[in-house]
Amino acid sequence: MLNGKKIIVVMPAYNAEKTLEKTYSEIYNDIVDDIILTDDCSSDKTKEIAKNLNITTIIHDKNEGYGANQKSCYAAALNADADVIIMLHPDYQYTPKLVPAVASMLAFGEYDAVLASRILNNGALKGGMPLYKYIANRFLTLFQNIITGSSLSEYHTGFRGFTKEVLLNLPLDSCSDDFIFDDEIITLIMYYNYKIGEISCPTKYFHEASSINFIRSCHYGFGVIVTSILYLLAKLNIYKSKIFDKNAKKLNLSKNLKYFYKKNI
């Protein structure tokens, strides 16, 4: 609890057995009211480790995709009456020690969403981000800032926080179930004129940290460009794609009921 706001950390997991416990151990539990993990049908022992750590866990009975995994996280957190929801990858690429800083930026009403940036303070290259990923990140971020009129240092971090109002009001169920969901949610936050803050976050690239391959990275990059163009067309009232349409679907809070969801799995 922070400033009277309930804080829940959510972790979308897929084959995170080697890093989950380390990530969990560094979450500052004095202000975090609950931790919810969604396992997207991992083939390793992620579920068993979550059980041993007594983490509230949702298990997908089939692999549904990174975006769908996040939707389950957010639906579960909102059903648990969270006021502030912080999404942290369980792969230990981002330091969990910054959870209190992200939470405070939201709990005291300064921002509606917060991104933990690997780019501020040159953290990405220092942490071992591959050069081609860094160059792609900088190009895409520049392109997005030009299109949206913003000045974010990066859009593609896996450590971010939201107020419940953002997650309740955005049409997240109309967004992709794949990796491009990450970009769509930030673009929607801008489209609906919510305030976004950033915080510098060190990062670590190592063998066990999750990372999409080159082909999927290219697919994601193309999706970012398309989403940005669709954002501009919607802002200009020229064309509104499904996520910007007035009939776009908000998050279905009962959707996690089809999953195995409780403590001590």
* CATH classification of the domain holding 31: 3.90.550.10
263 in a domain, yes or no?
no
105 in a domain, yes or no?
yes
> Does residue 265 have a pLDDT over 70?
no
* pLDDT, mean over the chain: 91
- Domain containing 80 equals 7-246
Residue 207's pLDDT is: 61
161 in a domain, yes or no?
yes
pTM equals: 0.92
Residue 215's pLDDT is: 84
Mean pLDDT of the 14-35 span: 95
> Does residue 261 have a pLDDT over 80?
no
119 in a domain, yes or no?
yes
Total domains in the fold of the chain: 1
Residue 71's pLDDT is: 95
Mean pLDDT of the 241-255 span: 90
Residue 40's pLDDT is: 95
CB atoms within 10 A of CB 128: 12
240 in a domain, yes or no?
yes
Residue 139's pLDDT is: 96
206 in a domain, yes or no?
yes
The more confidently predicted of residues 21 and 258 is 21
Q: Crossing angle of helices 181-191/131-148, nearest 10°?
A: 30
Residue 131's pLDDT is: 87
259 in a domain, yes or no?
no
pLDDT category, 140, cuts 50, 70, 90? very high
147 in a domain, yes or no?
yes
